[in-house]
Structure formats: C-alpha cells, structure tokens
Amino acid sequence: MKRILPFFLPVMTIVLTSCQVATETPKVTGGDVRLSGADSAAYLDGISSNPTVTEAEAMKGILLVLDEKRKMNFAEAVAALQERKIVASNWDFQADKAITRGRIAYMAYQAFGLKGGLTLWLTGPSQRYCLKELQFRGFMGAGISYNTITGMEYVSILGRIDEFRQTGKVTGASAREGGQE
Amino acid sequence: MEKYLRTSFCVIVLMTLANVATARQNKATSKPKPISVTVKEVSGTAQRLLAGKDKKWAPLKAGEKIDEMTVIRTGFRTKVVLVFADNSVVTIQRATKMGIGEFRKEGKVTKTRLGLKYGSIRAKVKKAGGPNDFQISTPVATAAARGSESLTMFSPDFGHEGKSFSGKWRHKKGFKVQNISGTEMTNNKLEKPINVTKRIFTPVVRDLYGGLSKKELKYSRRQSTGRAVLSSSPGDNKIKRIINRPAPWRRKVIKSTPRPISPIVTPNLRVPGLDEGN
C-alpha cells in the first residue's frame, strides 16, 4: 500500500484537475442581434411553427420562463443566462445557428433546478447526461444530444419547465416513456 | 260503405299531410343555434384572435363573451377558465393554443368541438342541462366526453395524452378507440390504462432507441432499479452489431458453414456398459 500511494496520489490529482471545466470566455457570434420583444403567448405561437429553433430564439424562451422582462440583445442574453448558470461558460454561441437537443436539455435542466443522478452529481451538468436525466423523468422525448429540435417540441419543453417551476411537478410525466417523477 | 271508405281515406291523407308539415316546422326550429361562451377567469398572458381581414391578437379579459371560431393562445404562468352555456367548464392551461370550432345547440343536443394545437385543456362536461356531444381534437386524435371531467394534452414529443378525472372518455385515433374512466390515463398509442399505470410502477429500462436485445431487456427488467441500466446511448448495440457484422463477401460463407451438433447432455441417464468404466 505504501508503495502504491506515491504513484496513486499524483495520478489522481492529475485526473481530477483535468476533469475541471475550462473557464474560457465564450465566443459570441451575432451578439448585437436584438431578441424579439414579444410576450410569452405570442412568442410560443410564433415559434411553434418553426422547423428548428435558433440559439437566439431559445435564449428568449428561457428568459421568458425565468420571468426576465428586460429587452436585450443576444450577447446580453448570453451574459444574463451565464450569470444564472443556465448556459455553460465554455460554450460558443451563434445567434442564427439551430440549437441542439443537448443544449436545450442542459438549459432546461438548470432552469428546472433539478438535482440529478450519480453521474450528474459527480461530473456536473453536461449536455448528454442532462438529456438522459430529462428523458428518464419523462420531461423530454426521445432523441440524441447533437440533433436539432423543432419549435413545437421546444414550446412543450418550455411549458413543462414553467409548470415544474410553478407546481413542482409535470402532469403525466410519470406515465411516459422512462417517466419517473 | 264507399262513403265510409272515402271519408276514412281523406282523414288519413290529411293526417299524413299535417304530420309532414309539423315535422318540417320542427326541423326549421331545430336549426343549430350558436351559443356564446363566457370567459370566467384570466390570469397571466392570454390572447384571442379577432375575426376580420387584418387578423389581430387582442388580450382576453374576464367577463368577455366569445363565439364559435375563436382562437385563444396562452403564455407562461397563465390560466383561462371558460364557462359554456351548458355549464361545461374548460380550463386552458399554460403554453396552450386552442380554438372553439363549434358550440351550438342542435335540437336538445349541445354540440361542442374544440381544437388543441399544443398545450393542455382540462374540461368538465355537465350533462345536467341535457345531452351533450363534446369533443376535443388534437392533431393526431380525438377525445369525446360522456359527461365527465378530463385533461387532454398534446405535445409533439409525447403526442396525444388524456387523463380522466371522472366519468367516461372516449379517445379515438384513426380506427383505434380507447375508453377511459375514473382516474385512468391513456397515451399517444392509446394504450390500455392498466399498461400505462404499470409503467409507473415497473423499473425503467433505458431502451429509448431500441438498442437492447430481448435477453438484455429481460435481464434489466429483472435486475435494474431504474437508472442503473444506462444503455440508452443512441447506438450502443447497433454500433456493436455493425462492427461485428462480417463483411458482405464473408456472410455467405458463414451462413453455409454447418453448425456443430452439440451433444445432448443427459446427466441422470445412465447407460449400462459405458458408465461402468467411469
């Protein structure tokens, strides 16, 4: 045991330090794009017919759920969400790029204020495991983290976040595929 | 005799004519009449589409009366309660877009047709005021009430979902019909309520992408305690199968090789002569 320890400890410290999330400043493309000033009903109706959701639109949705009423541009929205730890600090942002299911899951997981399983507890939130957690709870449908999401799906996810934040539960989630409320 | 027959014939003809006339009158009176709906309660952001050339959305207010062909949309933290003339109550939940397709009286029957684009509606249908034909249509299915309370939801990821709180509800999707009653629930596949309930109590097998084999599914159902079975990455076993799949030019060879015949093991059978030596 005494022989192993001198090797084991440095290896473990290297492993643990490499696991830490890099705190780089995010690259924001299209930061001056103004987010729409629509109210939540108009926003949801407008987005529901879109085949994909852009990052700017997604940010606007999350801000509406969080009851953020300030009018802001994309860069300001990113900063506001980073402040609330809704988005990861090491992501790159592009206003007109279609957002992925993994990113939505990460943002939703943080907005839900959930406490996840063992992997999430050990490693912190990640797109992959946030998606798995939300699928497990019946809050999100099947799909993989690097795929895009339709506007209608995003509307229903935002609705669930809102319901969970208001009531602490999501109606019918327990009976869904993999649902465990 | 002839006179008697003539008079009786005339009486019959007159009676039939009178019958036809009254029937026509009844038909004219039973022409469907649209009835208005009252907005009882509004909290949060709710809007309705104004009819006219330039369609505009106007905020929905409590006490307002709305008619057929009205479209309502709600935002976050919103609840709208509509009271229909037959005392049926419809609660529109948050993040919902719905429309009143038809609400009219056809004779004694009150006909209600609601459309749900996304979100959820909770309907409490009352039969005390006469027979009711109440239907909620989602993009994929229809829920019809038979005097009861229910929640109908539609989301693109989980599809049509219905939960009954009291009375009977009939969910129809194509040719498939599922009746639910009491506090039962059905999902997009219109599964039997017992199967939907079972899912809540059985351990979850993480096979959202269909990558597990039958044996693995059976094992995880028996052994897992829910999240312990993490095998739902998009192509766990599919990838393995693809990697392990022999090259196309080798497949035939593998198929054509005869399987080795395994000896039948019969531990309890003792063969005289052979076993003696052991």
What is the predicted pLDDT for the residue at A136? Answer: 82
Higher pLDDT, A30 or B9: A30
A-chain residue closest to B60, CA distance: A41
Phi and psi for A42 in degrees, rounded to 5? -70, -40
Q: Does residue B243 register a pLDDT over 60?
A: no
Over residues A142-157, the mean pLDDT reads 90
**B233 falls within a domain:** yes
* Same domain for B132 and B230: no
pLDDT at A97: 93
Looking at the structure, do residues B45 and B109 belong to the same domain, yes or no? yes
% of chain B at pLDDT higher than 70: 60
Last residue of a domain, one of B136, B170, B201: B201
Are B52 and B145 in the same domain? Answer: yes
- B10 sits in the region (left: phi over 0; alpha: psi -120 to 50; else beta) called alpha
In this prediction, residue A65 carries a pLDDT of: 92
- Do residues B173 and B79 both lie within one domain? yes
Same-domain pairing of B50 and B112: yes
For residue B217, is it within any domain? yes
Q: Does the residue B25 lie in any domain? A: no
Segment B159-183 mean pLDDT: 88
State residue B93's pLDDT score. Answer: 92
Find, in chain A, the residue whose alpha carbon is nearest to that of B74. A41
User: How close, in Å, is residue A5 to chain B by CA atoms?
Assistant: 31
Over residues B69-106, the pLDDT tens digits come to: 889 999 999 999 999 888 889 999 999 999 998 888 88
| β-strand pairing of B46-49 with B159-166 | unpaired
What total of structural domains would you count in chain A? Answer: 1
Phi-psi region for residue B226, left (φ > 0), alpha (ψ -120 to 50) or beta? left
**Cβ pairs A/B, distance under 8 A:** 125
Question: Is B256 a member of any domain?
Answer: no
Query: What is the tally of structural domains in chain B?
Result: 2
Which residue type, as a one-letter code, is found at position A15?
V
* DSSP designation for A73: B
Residue A6 lies in a domain: no
Distance (Å, whole) CA A88 – CA A81: 9
Please say if the pLDDT value at position A111 is more than 80.
Answer: yes
**Quick one: B123 and B237 in the same domain?**
no
One domain for residues B191 and B97: yes
Structural domain contains residue B66: yes
SS3 B275: coil
pLDDT score recorded for residue A105: 94
Which of these, B112, B90, B97, lies nearest to B34 by C-alpha position?
Answer: B112
What gap in Å lies between CA B95 and CA B77, rounded to an integer?
8
- The answer to the question of residue B81 being in a domain is yes
Domain-embedded: residue A97: yes
Give chain A's mean pLDDT: 84
Structure tokens at A65: 């759920």
Which residues of A are less than 8 Å from B234 in CB distance?
Answer: 144
Strands (E) in chain B, as ranges, are 33-34, 37-43, 46-49, 57-59, 65-66, 70-74, 79-84, 89-92, 97-106, 109-124, 132-137, 142-145, 149-155, 159-166, 168-173, 176-181, 185-186
Under DSSP, the state recorded for B108 is T
Rounded (10°) angle between helices A55-65 and A151-167 = 20
Residue B5 located in a structural domain: no
Comparison of pLDDT for B9 and B264, the residue scoring more: B9
Q: How high is the pLDDT of residue B228? A: 38
Give the pLDDT mean for B211-228. 58
For residue A170 the two structure tokens come to 């999501």
In this prediction, residue B31 carries a pLDDT of: 64
Q: What is the pLDDT of residues B37-71, one digit of tens each?
A: 899 999 999 999 987 777 889 999 999 999 888 89
What are B's interface residues with A at a Cβ cutoff of 8 A?
Answer: 45-47, 57, 73-78, 93-97, 117-120, 151, 153, 155-158, 161, 163, 185, 187, 196-197, 199-200, 204, 206, 208-209, 226-227, 230, 232, 234
Give the per-residue pLDDT at A103: 95
CA distance B78 to A60: 18
* Token pair belonging to B4: 């008697």
User: Tokens 């934040």 correspond to what residue?
Assistant: A165
For residues B65 and B164, state if they share a domain.
yes
> Per-residue confidence at B233, pLDDT binned at 50, 70, 90?
very low
Residue B263, in any domain of the structure: no
pLDDT at A180 exceeding the cut of 50: no
Mean pLDDT rounded to a whole number for chain B = 74
Same domain, B132 and B216: no
Domain span at residue A124 reads 23-170
Question: Residue B57: which domain range?
Answer: 33-201
> What pLDDT band is residue A155 in, cutting at 50, 70 and 90?
very high
pTM value is 0.71
What CA–CA distances, in Å, run from B73 to A83, B10, B37, B149?
A: 31, 63, 16, 22
Both B172 and B118 in one domain: the answer is yes
- Residue of higher predicted confidence among B220 and B144: B144
Confidence of residue A178 (pLDDT cuts 50, 70, 90): low
B166 lies in the same domain as B243 = no
The answer as to whether A136 is a domain residue is yes
Q: How far is CA B128 from the centre of its chain?
A: 25
Q: Does residue B56 sit in the same domain as residue B77? A: yes
β-strand partners of B145: B134, B169
In a domain, A17, yes or no: no
Q: Tokens 């693809």 — which residue? A: B242
Residue ending a domain, among B201, B220, B238, is B201
- What CA–CA distance (Å, rounded) separates A69 from A57? 15
- Residue A33 CB neighbour total at 10 angstroms: 17
With 70 as the cut, is the pLDDT of residue A152 above it? yes
Cα gap A82→B238, rounded to integer Å:
37
